[in-house]
Amino acid sequence: MNQAPDRVVLRKLVSALRERHYMHTVRFPSLQRPFFMLPFEPNVMLSYTRNKTSPFTPSALPSLYRFRWFAKHPDTALLYRFFFLNQPAPLRHLSKILGNELIGQLVDAGIVQKSDGHARATFRMVPYGDTIFLSDPDQGDARTTIQYVYLGGDSVTLSNFVSTRMLHRSYGRGLDLCAGTAFQGHNIKSHCDSVIAAEFNPRAVDFARAILYANSVPDTFSVIQSDLWQNVTGNFDIIVSNPPYYPVPKNKWNPMIMDVFGGADHGMEKPLTIFDGFGQFLNPSGEGILLAASPIIKGEDVLLSRLKPLAEKHGLETVLVPWKYTNMRLDPEYQVENSIDYLIHYIVHARLTGNGSVISSGYPFLVRTLQKLQLGFQKMLPSWPRR
Ligand SMILES: C[S@@+](CC[C@H](N)C(=O)[O-])C[C@H]1O[C@@H](n2cnc3c(N)ncnc32)[C@H](O)[C@@H]1O
């Protein structure tokens, strides 16, 4: 279980990538969607023309978007395939682009492994906003890395929401809780006097600190290790959190899925503990936002009923914004055994006003209907567990 690589070498890599236009790749949708999702592609195209896509936007035709630009920038294309998609590359080509000296340092630092004239990146370099993040390569549901450091599609979903709905003003102190790479903290940093990122996984803490150093971020942004609120002190004007929020049965928990496991109560324990803490750690009129997933059991939206008493206790005016209806990819057996019809992924946005309430905002009818059809279809497949 390696920690983050040498920070000085990482900083050299980050500036070499910037010089070679790596930040330009931030718009290219790169998450491969199954080909049968092609009818949804016009939506992706529209988002792309509006500059609203990211490397985590799913697309049935990801190469379509980068093809023309990459034809004119073959060096960036190779770097992107190597450091973002984690595909192997000929060592000779890589050395030509980055220089033998830097390649030697990357190998010594464990960022690049070489064998038989080819090289492979052992970490993922993710461009987003004004930062290049270091995370573990995507391992899907088949995790092999202990204390895996996550950065993925829901990180971008939350940060986009925060950017459009909350960053129209400036804040004093900001907190990114369950920070991972401190992705959410970076998103709010230019709107805050100071930011603290708090994270439990010691390896992620190390990554987050290395990212700050490699991107030359001022020391008004710091990282602490904390089990949820344990080591957090003082009050905040904005708190952003993308915590683990999936249910995982006890016998399936392991230290490779710390980013996933939301705790007891069908994975709502950690999101609810964070929401409860908003009452103590937000300044008056302060805003807190987090991701959570609600199990729908016999028609009841369970998260909604758990949040209500907490919102009333603290005076948190709360809006739930749905953004995905899904069956559990991690554990369908658990879903069937616990009579969970499906999960609704929510953005939970609260303001400390003294008027405790929870309302749920609408989800576009067409999207909801299509997603529900997809859920029904999954349940008809022979692979879906039966009681
Ligand atoms: C889904 S990941 C999100 C990471 C990051 N916030 C983002 O948006 O990319 C959840 C993160 O919460 C961390 N985490 C899990 N349990 C925690 C705890 N008890 N206290 C603090 N962080 C925790 C995980 O290690 C992981 O980095």
Boundary (domain end) residue, out of 73, 107, 123:
123
As a whole number of angstroms, the distance between CA 136 and CA 244 comes to 17
Atom 14 (ligand 1): residue with closest C-alpha?
178
Q: Residues 269-302: pLDDT tens digits? A: 999 999 999 999 999 999 999 999 999 999 999 9
Has residue 147 been placed in a domain? no
Task: Label residue 386 by pLDDT band (50, 70, 90).
Answer: confident
For residue 337, give its domain range: 153-380
Q: Residues 338-372: pLDDT tens digits? A: 999 999 999 999 999 999 999 999 898 888 888 88
Q: Are residues 30 and 80 in the same domain?
A: yes
Q: Are residues 29 and 105 in the same domain?
A: yes
Q: Are residues 165 and 32 in the same domain?
A: no
**318: CB partners within 8 A, 6+ apart:** 307, 311, 348, 349, 350, 351, 356, 357, 358, 359
Atom 2 (ligand 1): residue with closest C-alpha?
259
Q: Is the pLDDT of residue 2 over 70?
A: no
Q: Are residues 64 and 169 in the same domain?
A: no
Among 148, 201, 223, which is best to mutate for testing ligand 1, by the most ligand atoms less than 8 A from CB? 201
Q: Residues 92-129: pLDDT tens digits? A: 999 999 999 999 999 999 999 999 899 999 999 999 99
Q: Are residues 118 and 198 in the same domain?
A: no
Task: Label residue 34 by pLDDT band (50, 70, 90).
Answer: confident
Instruction: Tell me if 261 CB under 6 Å of ligand 1.
Output: no
Has residue 19 been placed in a domain? yes
| AA letter at 88 | P
Rounded distance from Cα 72 to ligand 1 centre (Å): 38
Q: Are residues 112 and 217 in the same domain?
A: no
Q: Residues 228-252: pLDDT tens digits? A: 999 999 999 999 999 999 998 888 8
Query: What's the pLDDT score for residue 250?
Result: 82
Instruction: Give the total number of structural domains in the chain.
Output: 2
Q: What is the CATH number of the domain that holds 210?
A: 3.40.50.150
Q: Are residues 327 and 230 in the same domain?
A: yes
Q: Are residues 211 and 355 in the same domain?
A: yes
Q: What is the mean pLDDT of the chain?
A: 94
pTM for this predicted structure: 0.95
Rounded distance from Cα 201 to ligand 1 centre (Å): 8
Q: Is the pLDDT of residue 1 over 60?
A: no
Query: What's the pLDDT score for residue 141?
Result: 75
Rounded distance from Cα 189 to ligand 1 centre (Å): 18
Q: How far is CA 321 from CA 273, 291, 330, in A?
A: 19, 10, 23
Q: Are residues 24 and 162 in the same domain?
A: no
As a whole number of angstroms, the distance between CA 59 and CA 53 comes to 10
Has residue 131 been placed in a domain? no
**381: CB partners within 8 A, 6+ apart:** none
Q: Which atom of ligand 1 is nearest to the CA of 228?
A: 20
Q: Residues 40-95: pLDDT tens digits? A: 899 899 999 998 899 999 999 999 999 999 999 999 999 999 999 999 999 999 99
Higher pLDDT, 306 or 363: 306
Please give the average per-residue pLDDT across 152-156, as a whole number. Answer: 95
Has residue 129 been placed in a domain? no
Query: What's the pLDDT score for residue 29?
Result: 94
As a whole number of angstroms, the distance between CA 327 and CA 374 comes to 9
Q: Are residues 169 and 213 in the same domain?
A: yes
Q: Are residues 197 and 302 in the same domain?
A: yes
